[in-house]
Amino acid sequence: MCRNIRPLHNLEPATTPQEVHDAALQYVRKVAGMTKPSRANQEAFDRAVAEIAHVTEHLLADLVTSAPPKDREVEAARRRARSAARYGAPSSAATEAAAAV
């Protein structure tokens, strides 16, 4: 699965249509092997994103769980911690440079 596609089920606050669209776009990009389609493929690309987003919204609406909703901030902190462990914490110089921009 793409690293950028996050689980969208059982989150608090609830998943937005924009998040569903972004996940569908990332999926289509991965499957198609391109980030920006040519003009000849644009219509098929856009249609695939719309259809996948539509089906995903139905899936999320139909899923049931007895688990409590996951907190987005807690999940984001976990992703940041995993990233820091995998790639190392950013240096203070890089952090300061990014903050200055």
pLDDT tens-digit series, residues 6-24: 889 998 888 999 999 999 9
Three-state secondary-structure class, residue 74: helix
pLDDT tens-digit series, residues 73-88: 898 899 889 889 989 8
pLDDT tens-digit series, residues 26-51: 999 999 999 999 999 999 999 999 99
Instruction: Quote the pLDDT of residue 52.
Output: 97
Positive or negative: CA dihedral 49, 52, 54, 60 = negative
Q: Which band of pLDDT confidence, cut at 50, 70 and 90, is reported for residue 99? A: low
Instruction: Quote the pLDDT of residue 35.
Output: 92
- Per domain, the residue ranges of the chain are 11-87
CA distance 58 to 55: 5
Q: What is the percent of the chain with per-residue pLDDT over 70, rounded to a whole number?
A: 84
